Structure 1
Amino acid sequence: MTFQSLLLPGRVLCNVEARSKKHALDVLSELLSSATDIDQGDVFQSLIKREKLGCTAIENGIAIPHGRLPDLEEPIGAFLKLSRPVDFDMPDREPVDLIFGLLVPAPADNAGCHHEEVSLVATAFADRTLATALRGATSSRAIYELLTAPDPARRAAAS
């Protein structure tokens, strides 16, 4: 699994104005549903359902909201860079400005998980150089190129 397989340029947005966590998840669900025949409301509910289990924000102002949908054929992702950080219900109250949304297929027996995909995203965002470069990007295209560059050196060069 790679960012290239999860993202398309049209599912990356720079400088998104979000009033709250819920609003950011709503924008994210619109982007994710644009890649599928699945209703935006179902995508939103999937993300909210996961958030109720526990906050999907990690550290350094980054969140990885994710959900499972039975009608999805393959994992898909979307990315938002917020113009201003929002409270994401982190225990330390650190606001979030970089959000990678992820949808994965839900198996019919509801078994299995999507740790591989979430791990890929979390590992990539553990690189503070990437987060800094994403925050410095001024266009959706530049963000897409940073995320899909094959190695960290090219990511830094793309910024």
Structure 2
Amino acid sequence: MPAFYSMNAIAQLLTQDAIVLTAKPVTKEALFAEAAKALGQRLGVSEAMIHDCLKMREQLGSTGLGQGVGIPHGRLKGLRQAAGMFYRLNTPIPFDAPDNRPVDLAFFLLVPEQSTEEHLQLLSELAQHFSDPELREKLRSSTEAVEVLTLFASNHV
């Protein structure tokens, strides 16, 4: 496994300003627009490019995992390194997840266009993290961004 993969790879993508605990969008489209704007500002990348990237991937099939979790993701031309944002929604939104449950936890993942292996590794790690019912519950009850960072950093699966 390449050196840049560690059990904390997900935590390394996050900073406190990349964690939103009171998101209020009422549709998947509104959530994507909000995340694209925030990611664009954080990364200095076009909001429209990010939004298009996320929407194009979603058209291939829902990025809803089930259990109230979504991992919208995509490979973005011109991006230099992987980036992520975590959203907890005040009200779960329809997401076309396999279990038909609405989503209230969403992790947005962007990787450089050529980073296929890294993309798959990070998605796998996210899926493992979110498969843990205890972690999902703690993410739903956390009141501070630093708590969320700690959860992602310490949750060894």
Aligned partners of 2:88 and 2:106 also within 8 Å = yes
Q: CA deviation at 1:151?
A: 4.2
* 1:96 and 2:142 are equivalent in the alignment: no
| Structure 2 residue matching 1:18: 3-state secondary structure | coil
Match of 1:157 in 2: none
Moved more, 72-81 or 35-44: 35-44
Normalising by structure 2, we get a TM-score of: 0.87
How many residues are treated as equivalent by the alignment? 149
Q: CA deviation at 1:70?
A: 1.3
Q: Deviations over 1:14-68 (max 9, x none)?
A: 0210110111111221232233121111111100000000000002100000011
Match of 1:48 in 2: 55
Moved more, 26-35 or 125-134: 26-35
Moved more, 10-19 or 28-37: 28-37
Aligned partners of 2:10 and 2:122 also within 8 Å = no
Moved more, 138-147 or 57-66: 138-147
Match of 2:129 in 1: 124
Aligned Cα RMSD in Å?
A: 1.7
| Structure 1 residue matching 2:65: 3-state secondary structure | coil
Aligned partners of 2:88 and 2:140 also within 8 Å = yes
Q: 1:140 to 1:5 in 2, by over 3 A?
A: closer
* 1:149 and 2:151 are equivalent in the alignment: no
User: Which whole-Å CA distance do the structure 2 matches of 1:105 and 1:70 have between them?
Assistant: 6
Normalising by structure 1, we get a TM-score of: 0.86
Q: CA deviation at 1:150?
A: 5.8
User: Which whole-Å CA distance do the structure 1 matches of 2:116 and 2:31 have between them?
Assistant: 28
User: 85, 110, 134: which is aligned to 2:139?
Assistant: 134
* 1:37 and 2:44 are equivalent in the alignment: yes
Match of 1:11 in 2: 18
